[in-house]
Amino acid sequence: MAPQVPDPSNAPAYAAKCRHSKPRHFSQGIHDRDRCPLLPVTDGFCETIFLTTKNQEQSWHMAGYSGSNYVLGRSDQETTRLQNQAQFYNSFTRWIFQQAGIRDGMKVLDIGSGAGDVSLLAAELVGPEGCVVGVDINSDVLEIARRRAKATGLNNVRFQAGDIRDIDLADDFDAVVGRLVLMYQDDPVAGVRKAINHLKSGGIVVFEELDARIPVLADPPSPILDAAIRWVWAVFEKSGARTRMGLNLYKTFQAAGLPAPTMQLFTPVGGGSDWAGYDLLADTLRSLLPKIMEYGIASADEVDIDSFAERFRNEFVRTGSVSNLPAHVGAWAIKP
């Protein structure tokens, strides 16, 4: 369901209803009561009214993801998959945030926040004196993110629907972060440029993206894994998603006017009967299955999605295989 879009010209009327009201710069989309434009996650009304602009209204009602290639879809299954995937990569994300210098009291913008995993992680790092704004083009997934923030008791994070390419936000963030979002943009350099417009000089930029050049390999080899990875990369590439975004962060940062970033690589590894990697790959295939079939990459029978996780697990247990999962590259720099 599309969120209700209040008319910005009614700002004073809305403000009168909100117990946090002092919106001096309504057009910036930011409640500037103090440096952190935060509102309790329980107060959805206030969240909405101060964060809406004409631009955002257009984004909310935009048909599809014109100019961004999010091929995994918008299903509930995909939202759950994102949260499961986060369990594999959050430790790395936290580590690169800390290396980059994200700390207590900072105001962080998370672009392509999805179900909120990165925003929630950043909210823990910046603590109650800091704040995090998560932005995603998919307003439905933000409802999940808001519920999760509420459930964790984090009051320093809020979520705003919008497209990173034209969203109206403040320009005094201490850090801009994003995980697995540039790979879906037609023009990642423009995406980074737009994102860092919201960052103050001396602010921190951190992106984490996958890179298909770094092999996903099993030892002993696994035909099931090999086929699945081949299908996943094929559908991403066919859709226009950038499967080599990870290492390309180096040139993307510089083309966007940033210094050469510091970079690190991470890939989860596992095997044995209890590894959650089997289910993660099966869920990824499930999200991609409509496109796998549409693009003629494999048939439903070949993928056999309902038995995939079990077959994958059985093969690994039988052969004693261990493998990695898609590698993520983290890159960070300081805005001059």
Ligand X SMILES: C[S@@+](CC[C@H](N)C(=O)[O-])C[C@H]1O[C@@H](n2cnc3c(N)ncnc32)[C@H](O)[C@@H]1O
Residues near ligand X, by CB under 6 A: 65, 68, 70, 82, 86, 112-114, 117-118, 135-138, 141, 163-165, 179-181, 184-185
Nearer to ligand X, 70 or 92 (CB): 70
- Closer of 14 and 97 to ligand X (Cβ): 97
Contact criterion met (CB below 8 Å) for 173 and 200:
yes
- Token pair recorded at residue 14: 């809305």
Provide the token pair at 25: 């710069």
C-beta closer to ligand X: residue 70 or 173? 70
- 173 C-beta neighbours (distance < 10 Å), count: 25
H helices of the chain, in order, are 11-17, 44-49, 54-60, 76-100, 117-126, 139-152, 188-196, 223-239, 245-255, 277-294, 300-303, 305-319
Smallest distance from the beta carbon of 90 to ligand X, in angstroms?
9
- Give the nearer residue to ligand X in terms of CB position, either 30 or 109: 109
To the nearest 10°, report the CA torsion of 94, 98, 102, 103: 100
Nearer to ligand X, 45 or 65 (CB): 65
Which tokens is 31 given?
A: 């409640």
Nearest CB to ligand X, comparing residues 81 and 107: 81
Looking at the Cβ atoms of 113 and 267, the one nearer to ligand X is 113
CB of 67 to ligand X, least distance (A): 7
Orientation angle between helical segments 277-294 and 76-100, nearest 10 degrees: 120
Tell me which residue has its CB nearest to ligand X. 114
Backbone angles phi, psi at 176, to 5 degrees: -120, 130
DSSP letters for 265-317: EE--EEESTT-THHHHHHHHHHHHHHHHHHTTSS-HHHH-HHHHHHHHHHHHH
Q: How far is the CB of 117 from ligand X (least distance, A)?
A: 4
Question: What b-and-e string marks burial along 54-87, b requiring 16 or more CB atoms within 10 Å of the CB?
Answer: eebbebbeeeebebbbbbbbeeeebbebbeebbe
Least distance to ligand X, CB of residue 134, Å: 8
User: What minimum distance in Å lies between the beta carbon of 96 and ligand X?
Assistant: 13
Nearest approach, Cβ of residue 111 and ligand X (Å):
6
Q: Minimum Å distance from CB 109 to ligand X?
A: 11
In angstroms, what is the minimal distance from the CB of 137 to ligand X?
4
**In the complex, minimum distance from the CB of residue 200 to ligand X, in angstroms, rounded to a whole number:** 21
Of 28 and 113, the one with the shorter C-beta distance to ligand X is 113
Q: How many of the other CB atoms lie within 10 Å of CB of 4?
A: 11
- Closer residue to ligand X in complex, CB, 57/136: 136
Tell me the pairing of strands 157-161 and 269-271.
unpaired
φ, ψ for residue 323 (rounded to 5)?
-150, 170
Tally of residues, the chain: 336
